[in-house]
A = this chain, B = another copy of it.
Amino acid sequence: MLHLHLDRSSALPAYSQLMEQVRHYVASGVLRPGDKLPSIRAAARYLGVNPATVVKAYGELEHAGVLCREHGRGVFVAERMKAMPAKERQAELRRHARSLAVRAVQLDAPEETVLRLVTEELEALRGEAAP
C-alpha cells in the first residue's frame, strides 16, 4: 500500500501536496509505468479528503503526462513521459536550480554543501527503486 499523507497546516493546497508525492513515487521508481494507483475513492478515504480533491490532483498529473486515467478501469502511471521539448525541460530544471542557488547564497551555504545535498537526493531516489 502506497504511503500518502497530507500536512493540513501547509500553505500548499492538499491536491498540490498529493501531486508532489505521486511525482516523487514515480521519479523514485516506487511506482512504475503501468502501475495502478489507489482509486480516487480509496485515496480520498485514506487521506481524509473529498474525492474531488483527488480527482483534481490526478487530473493535473494526467495533463502533465505523469498519469493516465481510464474511465471505469482506474488510474495508472503513464507508459512514457509526454515528450516535453528539450528547451522547456531545461528551462524547468534551471528554474528549480536557480531557486536552490538563491536560497543557498542567502543561507550562506558553501557550494560543496549544496551539490552534496543534490547528489544525496538523486541517490535517495535511485535507492528507493531498487527493491
Contact = CB atoms under 8 A, between A and B. Distances in A.
A35 interface: no
B119 A93 contact: no
A3 interface: no
A117 B99 CA distance: 11
Interface of A: 8-9, 13, 20, 23-24, 26-28, 63, 66, 68, 70-71, 73, 78, 81, 84-85, 89, 92-94, 96-109, 111, 113-115, 117-122, 124-125
B97 A117 contact: yes
Q: Helix, strand, loop or mixed for chain A's interface?
A: helix
B94 A121 contact: yes
A61 B115 CA distance: 26
Contacts of A63: 63
Contacts of A71: 13
Contacts of A120: 97
Contacts of A20: 99, 102
Given A23-B102, A96-B96, A115-B119, 19 more contacts: A8-B70, A8-B73, A9-B70, A23-B106, A26-B106, A27-B103, A27-B105, A66-B106, A85-B85, A93-B107, A93-B109, A97-B114, A97-B117, A97-B120, A99-B99, A101-B118, A111-B122, A115-B118, A118-B118
